[in-house]
A and B are shown apart, each in its own frame.
Chain A
Amino acid sequence: MKEISPEATSDVKSVDAVELLSRKFPGSIKPDDRKGYEGIVVDSSKLPEVATAIRDELGFDLLANLSYVDYPEEGVFEVVYNAYNTAVGGKGLTFRVRTSRDEAEIPSLIGVWPGVDFQEREAWDLMGIRFSGHPDLRRILLWEGFAGHPMRKDWREPFYEEDNKPYGTRWPEGQVQRAEMKTPYGMNVQYPGGFKLEGWEPEGEEALYAGLGTPLGIGPDIHQIKTDQLIVNLGPQHPSTHGVFRMAVTVDGETITRLKPVFGYLHRNHEQIGERNTWLQNMPFTDRLDYFSSLANNLAYAISVEKMMGQEIPERADLLRVLMVELTRIQNHYSAIGFLLNDLGAFFTPVLYALTERELILDLFEATTGSRMMCNYMRFGGLAYDLPSYIGGPAIKEGDRERELDTMKFIKGLVYERLPRATDMLDRYLTNNEVLVNRLKGVGVLPGDRAIAYSATGPVLRASGVPYDLRRADPYSIYNEFDFDVAVRYNGDSYDRYLIRLDEVRQSLRILEQVVPRLEETEGQEYMGGKRSYNHRVPAGDHYGHAENPKGELGFHLVSDGGGNPYRYHVRSPSFINLTALEEMCVGHKVADIIVILGSIDIVLGEVDR
């Protein structure tokens, strides 16, 4: 059932791409010659044609990321696309489009890659760039009627202090003040000048419901019964939406005819705060993206910035990174399976079994990094700490019970005994269960080509028969030194998305079995490359770095102006983009299946809404 994805080589160099494209579109293509930037600049009028050529002729079929940057001095917005080749892997192609700040309109690519749907809406919402031809260009993370586009460099939040941290009011004359005391409302709000409540009406959600009326044409009509269409809202407070996620669903009887996800209930302004922060200050914030796998987020961010800085990493640090990230992947997949079963109605027993194993992994995280979930463990060039000498701590409180478990013994116990046994246990417990099979098999099928078109990544993509795993396709850290297979399943239904998580856990364990002996060999070696510093300067430039997170490709599009703070900090979050395919997967199924399909995608809202 598995196969190794081809060696990571790209047969299309980006220089060739420029040549080929400029021959085909003379005058519309030019290489980006700014220092530290890569890729090509495309004339916005020719964008859809060029994009089609990039997809079909150059083979970059997966549009991984759409990011947007504001350059107020030049008066332009820039939209940056990163396309990758799922067949051969390797480096991707970056292409960008510029538009003036006043008009801010570029053609939508939704006809070429439907996966840009939510990303273009996000760019419209937060930056105010119009995408002509987008059928449903509404605000996505904020709400209709919100004043302004907050990611613009000249937009200021109510609690604005300075453009960049550290703020001058903290030292040496720091006078503590709650930020809400500075606004007249005593709250984090502001209203545009001249706003009057009298006669004002909230915009409401007509725009959302307007698009839900027309069924997609896959309606049931099996028995020729005349039925009414009904709009049902699931969430944002619903026990099985994995957080504050909401779906507006049109149902015909029990059958779904349209589905629209509604986002933003956990939009915490990660990117905007990230641009105020220094490079290092973003590290603990990345913990809170996908809060199940903070260490994997740390790694993705660390390798992206290290790449820009040209930082070398010592071997031990790399080994520990792989150890932590693979353990993160295991506990994430365990929880994903557990919560999927919860959604199916197997209330709590599978979750309890999964969380028991997770707790033991978290014990290692807590002893090593200091926190169970928000690990904040990686630094540019290495790690914050080495492994501790023991798991457990001194008794200080009344009732405290001590444990002193040797760390290496604990890790070996996990990797060689406990986790393989637990994986087999879950397998035996669930995989052949008839109820589970009936509820999952053939539900929410996403064929491979559609998965690529929707920019799906991670287990969702691989369960659809596309062996695209960044650990093999575009290797980072030291993954190319380990022997493991890329797990693939071919049916693309919810059952395969369940099975592939078990496969991936087994592959992660295989990697860990190779890591543990090398950890023992490198014991006591340096785990931090370069100088430990808190004010990093990153050379000016633009970089898209990505890593294979448990939920898919987590990418960071970073732009530096050479200063101590990122000029642009964009997060390509896998959960958010994997949801683009949700409507197609759900239409035609019953209401109860939405929950199953959503559970099988495995989203986490911290990352969806950022």
Chain B
Amino acid sequence: MYGLGIIKGLGVTLKHLVETYVDDFRWGVRRYTTDDGFVARQSTDTRGIFTVQYPEEKLAVPERFRYIPFLVVYDDDHPDHPGEIWCTSCGICTKVCPPQCIWIMRGKHPETGRPIPDPEYFYIDIDICMNCGLCAEYCPFDAIKMDHDYEIASYDRTTAHIFDKAKLSKPLSYWQKIAPSRALEEHLARETK
């Protein structure tokens, strides 16, 4: 019969519509207020409404998530090296960076003039950065990591989009917070070295 296919198709859309309400009735408010409800909406079993109500609720990004890189520094309350940067300005990240968006000036000892393992300048042009994560992957000192902060929209790029050392530096505790299991793994690997 002509039109049967269309009716069948409409049946599918109708099923989607009904599912929305079935799940909402079954869960009630819990679907939107509890973590279980959120998981049920955002897992492979999800049915019905699939929306993440950004900005009221945000989908937490996974540990490996990559956005703009940042530099790891010791926390300010570290007993031995408060606020000290991990980067040794070895330059591997600049060599591996595909669009070549990292600039490092190696620090020099103020008296002897010999290179010291501390970058004098460290710049990343985030208008070029392709978020590929190779710098973090190949850094031998775990000193550069990919940040998870994606909420960095701005009104002006000339002043805001070249990140310098101060803007790039974030404490180790921040890295431990955004990627707990990876930070632990790296810590153990450094210990055994």
Contacts and interface: CB of A to CB of B under 8 A. Distances in A.
- Residue of B2, B43, B66 contacting most chain A CB atoms (<10 Å): B43
Interface stretch (A118-126, A426-434, A596-604): A426-434
A388 B123 contact: no
A534 B138 contact: yes
Contact of B44 (A166, A281, A360): A360
17 contacts: A167-B100, A171-B103, A174-B104, A277-B98, A281-B98, A363-B42, A370-B146, A393-B62, A410-B43, A428-B8, A429-B9, A429-B12, A432-B4, A433-B5, A433-B9, A434-B6, A535-B95
A573 interface: no
Interface string A336-367: 00000000000001000100100110010011
Contacts of B138: 532, 534
B94 A401 contact: no
A284 interface: yes
Given A374-B131, A400-B58, A393 B98 contact: no
A518 interface: no
Given A171-B104, A432-B8, A434-B5, A349 B13 contact: yes
A393 B63 contact: yes
Contact of A534 (B54, B65, B95): B95
A532 B138 CA distance: 9
A174 B35 contact: no
B178 A394 contact: yes
Nearest to A433: B5
Contact of B98 (A284, A394, A404, A434): A284
Interface string B154-193: 0000000010000000000000011111000000000000
Contacts of B13: 349, 429
Interface string A264-287: 000000000000010011111101
B18 interface: no
A417 B44 contact: yes
A371 to B, nearest CB: 6
B60 A393 contact: yes
Contacts of B22: none
Interface string B90-105: 0110111110101111
Contacts of A363: 42
A172 B62 contact: no
Interface string A36-61: 00000000000000000000000000
Given A173-B105, A425-B12, A284 B134 contact: yes
Contacts of B57: 399-401
A198 B66 CA distance: 49
Contact of B89 (A172, A399, A417): A172
B17 to A, nearest CB: 11
B50 interface: yes
Indicate the member of B46, B56, B100 with the most A CB atoms within 10 Å: B100
Nearest to B98: A281
B115 to A, nearest CB: 7
Contact of A437 (B5, B134, B146): B5
A449 B39 CA distance: 51
Nearest to B146: A370
Given A281-B96, A371-B131, A396-B178, A170 B103 contact: yes
Given A280-B96, A366-B65, A394 B44 contact: no
A394 B177 contact: yes
Contacts of B179: 394
A429 B16 CA distance: 11
A414 interface: yes
Contacts of B65: 366, 370-371, 393
Interface string A388-406: 1101111111011111110
B76 interface: no
A498 to B, nearest CB: 13
How many B residues touch the partner, as a band? 35 or more
Nearest to B122: A174
A384 interface: yes
A287 B16 CA distance: 34
A413 interface: yes
A170 B64 CA distance: 27
A282 B134 CA distance: 11
Interface in B45-104: 45-46, 50, 52, 54-66, 89, 91-92, 94-98, 100, 102-104
Contacts of A241: none
A512 to B, nearest CB: 14
A30 to B, nearest CB: 39
A476 interface: no
B2 A434 contact: yes
Nearest to B162: A176
Interface string B117-158: 000010101000011111001100000001011010000000
Contacts of B31: none
A287 B38 CA distance: 31
A291 to B, nearest CB: 12
A413 B57 CA distance: 25
A434 B3 CA distance: 6
A217 B187 CA distance: 73
A257 interface: no
B105 A175 contact: yes
B103 A174 contact: yes
B140 to A, nearest CB: 11
Contact of B121 (A174, A418, A433, A437): A174
Contact of B125 (A176, A359, A400): A176
A166 B94 contact: yes
A403 B9 contact: no
A178 interface: yes
A359 B51 CA distance: 11
Interface string B15-50: 010000000000000000001001100111110001
Closest 9 interchain pairs by CB? A174-B103, A432-B5, A413-B44, A284-B132, A171-B91, A176-B123, A172-B106, A281-B98, A370-B64
A394 B63 contact: yes
B126 to A, nearest CB: 12
A252 B97 CA distance: 53
A403 B39 contact: yes
A353 B13 CA distance: 9
A349 B13 CA distance: 8
A284 to B, nearest CB: 4
Given A174-B123, A425-B12, A376 B64 contact: no
Contacts of B44: 360, 405, 410, 413-414, 417-418
A399 B91 CA distance: 37
Contacts of A367: 62, 64
A175 B115 CA distance: 16
Contacts of B151: 397
A360 B38 CA distance: 14
Contact of A370 (B56, B66, B92, B162): B66
Contacts of B149: 397
Contacts of A394: 60, 63, 177-180
Contact of B39 (A173, A174, A405, A436): A405
Nearest to B163: A176
B12 to A, nearest CB: 4
B132 A376 contact: yes
Contacts of A405: 39, 43-44
